[in-house]
Structure 1
Amino acid sequence: MTLSVEDRLGIQELLTSYSHGLDFGLEGKFLSCFSPTGRLLITGIGTAGNVGDVSFTGPDKLAGFLDDLHRGLLGHSRHWVLPVEIQSTGEDEASVTAYCQVLRPGEFPGAGITLTGMYYDKVEKLDGRWVFRQREFRADPQPQHASATPTDSLVARFDAALQSGERTSR
């Protein structure tokens, strides 16, 4: 089944609402992004007090996650999600894959990219709106690359500059 332009825009709007709700602690906006049994999985970073992979299912657990996260970030986070790949998986269902950069807003040296990763989403259309059935964030490096050592010259040069302290000043 092919998704209409309106469906694709609705899914894009879902991703934007999630980021705004997450970054500014807007519980109503954040929770409206999930189905009643919606699930959020976080792989590779954990959350406050937890190390490793965590999962939150249903409105109460999702609201608790948002409250804990926002209390720690206090609006000092911006989730940038692009590019987005949307694939229809059935009637009123789709999968979404997207890159994510989490930014620390402000001026240098306090501003910068704090985390990168990938979203792997299962979305569905309920009552005319697109919502997450499941949203999974996997922090970089992706699990299949976690133990690999890059040999690309650009990556090696970046890593060397980081280790020497060159990348920590303007």
Structure 2
Amino acid sequence: MNIKALAARLEHLESRLAIETLISAYANAFDVMNRDLLQQIWHVDSTLDLPGFGAAGSRDDIMSMAEQSWRQMPHMHHWMANPLIQIEGDSANGTVAANCLFHDVEQGPVQVSGLYHDRFERRDGQWKFVSRRFELHYLTPLKEWVPILGSERFQVGS
């Protein structure tokens, strides 16, 4: 294998790792209410569409929407799985499955499942989200679900 081909493979792997890190950072930022981390993963002109939860047309709007979500659902747990990512130069598209457990202040515990449809761009050497759209598969109230163990930070009502 020549050096040019090896360099291209390495760049592809580094890009994929950077994109998978963005996907994980999104889940972690929402789950621990980390405003700084959430802000870092979006380009300024990015969009977020979460049918049933809200839509945002810029990074500032995304941050406002997140803060509203944190007031409505102070306990979130996202699990992201099965990322399929296609990278072409400085652009990429992907899908990732999501299963989420939320404690909504009005509905109580709910489980949400679906598929994220993502677009990413590398600008000034950094990969970030350009758009993220959630395809809701189901939202299920978990009326009888009550955690019996866990850290105090994640107990319902804390």
Query: Normalised by the shorter chain, which TM-score bucket?
Result: 0.7 to 0.9
- Structure that is richer in strand per residue: 2
Matched letter for residue 67 of structure 1: E
User: Do the aligned partners of 2:49 and 2:134 also contact (CA within 8 Å) in 1?
Assistant: yes
Q: CA deviation at 1:104?
A: 4.5
| Aligned counterpart for 1:101 among listed residues 99, 102, 127 | 99
Runs ≥4 in structure 1, deviation > 4 angstroms? none
> For residues 28 and 104 of structure 1, what CA distance do their matches in structure 2 show?
21
**Deviation per residue, 1:54-100 (Å, 9 max, x gap):** 420112211110100011222x2111110100012x32111011110
Matched letter for residue 119 of structure 1: Y
1:41 matched to 2:49: yes
| Aligned counterpart for 1:10 among listed residues 6, 18, 22 | 18
1:122 counterpart residue number = 119
User: TM-score, normalising length from structure 1?
Assistant: 0.68
User: Do the aligned partners of 2:84 and 2:96 also contact (CA within 8 Å) in 1?
Assistant: yes
> For residues 66 and 11 of structure 1, what CA distance do their matches in structure 2 show?
21
CA RMSD across the alignment: 2.6
Q: Secondary structure at the match of 1:4?
A: helix
User: Do the aligned partners of 1:24 and 1:70 also contact (CA within 8 Å) in 2?
Assistant: no
1:81 matched to 2:84: no
| Aligned counterpart for 1:24 among listed residues 27, 32, 35 | 32
Q: Which sections of structure 2, spanning at least 5 residues, go unmatched?
A: 1-7, 139-143, 146-158
Q: CA deviation at 1:20?
A: 1.0
Q: Which sections of structure 1, spanning at least 5 residues, go unmatched?
A: 48-53, 142-167
The total of aligned residue pairs comes to 130
Matched letter for residue 130 of structure 2: R
**Deviation per residue, 1:144-164 (Å, 9 max, x gap):** xxxxxxxxxxxxxxxxxxxxx
Q: Secondary structure at the match of 1:117?
A: strand
Higher mean alpha-carbon deviation, 125-134 vs 31-40, is at 125-134
Counterparts of residues 145-164 of structure 1 (less than 5 Å)? none
User: TM-score, normalising length from structure 2?
Assistant: 0.73
